[in-house]
Amino acid sequence: MKPLLYMLAAACLFSFTEITLKILNGSLNCLDVNFSRYILSGIILLPLALLDLRKRQVRLNRTHFLWFQLLGFIGIALVGPAYQLASWLLQANVTSILFSLNPMFIAIMAMVVLGEPLSHHQWAALLFDIGAVFVLVNPMQMTMDPIGLLLLFFTIFCYSFYAVIGKKMIDELGSAMATAGSFLAGGVQLFLLACCTHIPFVAEWLVQVGLSDFAEVSLFGGYTVENIGWVLLLVFGVTLGGYIFWFKAMETGSTFIGSLTYFIKPALSPFMALIFLNEAITGRILLGVFLLLIGAAVSLNKDKPQPALD
C-alpha cells in the first residue's frame, strides 16, 4: 500500500511541472531556474539523506560520487533545461501526455539493465497507455513544433535511463541520498554551464548562432514578487516533494510502481492546465485520460501463479 501512496503523491506534485515551467519561462532562463531549484532542493534534503545513510551503515566512496555525477548529468543537467524548453514550445497538457511514454521506456530499460520481469497485466497496461497517447495526441492531425518534439523525446529517453540507474543507487544508499546526490551534482553542473556563458567569446558565439537568450545567463536573478510563489511550488513541491515520493515508491516497491506516476500524471495535468493556463479539455483528451486510468488499474493486478507441472 505504501508504494502506491508514494506514487500517487508524486503524481499529484509532478502534475504541476509543465504549468510552473511554462509560467516561469518568461521571467527566468531555463538554466537559471533549474540550477537554482536543484541546488536548493539538494541542500535541503542533504541532512535527511546523511541521517538515512548512517542508519544504513554505509559510507560514501569515490564510486558513489562518480555515480552522482552521472545521475546528475543525465537526469538533471540534460533533462531540466530540455524539458523546460519543450514545455514552452508545446502546450502544457500535450507535453505531459507525451511524457507518459516514460513507463514504456522505463519498463524496457529495467528489463535490460535490472532484469526486472514484466507481468502479463503490466504488458496489457502498457498497451492501454500506448492507445491513450495516440488518442490524445492524434499524430495524423496534430501539428507540433518539431524542435519541441525533439527536445521532449530526448528528455523522455534521458529521464527513463535516470530512473533505471537511480534504482540501482537507491537499493544501496536509499532514496534520500540518491536524490540529494544527483540534485547537487546536476545543479552544480548547470551552474558551471551558466557561468561559462559569461565568458566573452562564448557569449559572443551564442549571440552569433541565434542563442542570445543563453548568453550571459543570469545567476540567481529574475526572481520577483509575482513569480516567487511559482518558484517555491517548483522547488519544494514539484522538485523536492515529487522526487522524494517518486524514489520512495521505487524503493518500497519496484521500478514499475514508480513508473505508474507517469500513468496518473497525464490524467491530472490537463485539468491543472485548464485551471491555471486556460487550456481547453476536449473529448479526445477525456477519452485518453480514461484509457490511462484503465491502464493504471490493470497494471496493479498481479498475475496468478501457474500450477506446477508433474
The confidence score (pLDDT) of residue 302 equals 56
The confidence score (pLDDT) of residue 304 equals 47
Q: Angle at CA 141, nearest 5°, toward 138 and 147?
A: 85
User: In this prediction, what percent of the chain has a pLDDT beyond 90?
Assistant: 14
Residue 51 half-sphere exposure, CB side, CA atoms within 13 Å? 5
> When comparing pLDDT for 139 and 310, which is higher?
139
The confidence score (pLDDT) of residue 307 equals 42
First to last CA, the chain: 36
CA dihedral 267, 269, 274, 275 (to 10 degrees): 120
Nearest by Cα to 183 from 125, 238, 136, 228: 238
How confident is residue 309, by pLDDT bands cut at 50, 70 and 90? Answer: very low
> When comparing pLDDT for 216 and 222, which is higher?
216
Q: How far apart are CA 83 and CA 242, in angstroms?
A: 16
- Amino acid identity of residue 1, one-letter, is M
- Name the average pLDDT for the chain: 81
Q: What angle separates helix 79-89 from helix 30-56, to the nearest 10 degrees? A: 140
**pLDDT by residue (tens digit) across 141-199?**
556 677 888 888 899 888 888 888 887 788 888 878 988 999 999 999 999 999 999 99
**pLDDT by residue (tens digit) across 40-60?**
889 988 998 899 899 888 899
The confidence score (pLDDT) of residue 137 equals 66
The confidence score (pLDDT) of residue 255 equals 67
Over range 224-251, report the average pLDDT: 84
Q: What is the pTM of this model?
A: 0.78
In this predicted structure, the answer to whether residue 221 has a pLDDT above a threshold of 60 is yes
The confidence score (pLDDT) of residue 65 equals 93
Within the chain, strands assigned E span none
The confidence score (pLDDT) of residue 184 equals 95
**21-30, 220-229, 259-268: which range is least confident on average?**
259-268
**pLDDT by residue (tens digit) across 9-41?**
888 898 888 888 888 876 788 888 888 889 988
Over range 236-253, report the average pLDDT: 81
Q: How far apart are CA 279 and CA 265, in angstroms?
A: 16
The confidence score (pLDDT) of residue 268 equals 81
In this predicted structure, the answer to whether residue 62 has a pLDDT above a threshold of 70 is yes
Q: What are phi and psi of 212, to 5 degrees?
A: -65, -25
The set of residues, in sequence order, having a beta carbon less than 8 Å from that of 118 and lying 6+ positions away, is: 107, 111, 126, 256
Over range 265-294, report the average pLDDT: 80
